[in-house]
Amino acid sequence: EDKVVQSPLSLVVHEGDTVTLNCSYEVTNFRSLLWYKQEKKAPTFLFMLTSSGIEKKSGRLSSILDKKELFSILNITATQTGDSAIYLCAVESEGAQKLVFGQGTRLTINP
């Protein structure tokens, strides 16, 4: 069965700090890994990663995938209070048409 494990489950830092969130996975016929940010409502899409070693970047957020070691990291630099959220990692396998989610990392940024 496909499995996604995120760490840490919870993280509290001060504004301006840099954080790294981890996601490891076991999946048959890997297709893609996705990161979502969930505040109060719907998970909102951040990144989709399909190839190893290619960094995806959006402002202060970046993510990279290692398909050999089966993990991904999400980096947030110069954190702001608005980055406080649950960050969800999910994987999709070929032909599966479903996402398998990890437990999420609850990130809290204190002023």
Residue ranges binding other proteins (CB under 8 A): 31, 34, 36, 38, 41-45, 48, 86, 88, 90, 96-101, 103-104, 106
Q: How far is the C-alpha of 73 from the C-alpha of 80, rounded, in Å?
A: 19
Nearer to other proteins, 42 or 69 (CB): 42
User: Minimum distance between the CB of residue 109 and other proteins, rounded to whole angstroms?
Assistant: 18
User: Minimum distance between the CB of residue 100 and other proteins, rounded to whole angstroms?
Assistant: 7
User: Minimum distance between the CB of residue 75 and other proteins, rounded to whole angstroms?
Assistant: 20
> What is the bridge-based pairing of β-strands 61-66 and 71-76?
antiparallel
Q: Which residues contact 103 (CB under 8 A, 6 or more apart)?
A: 5, 6, 9
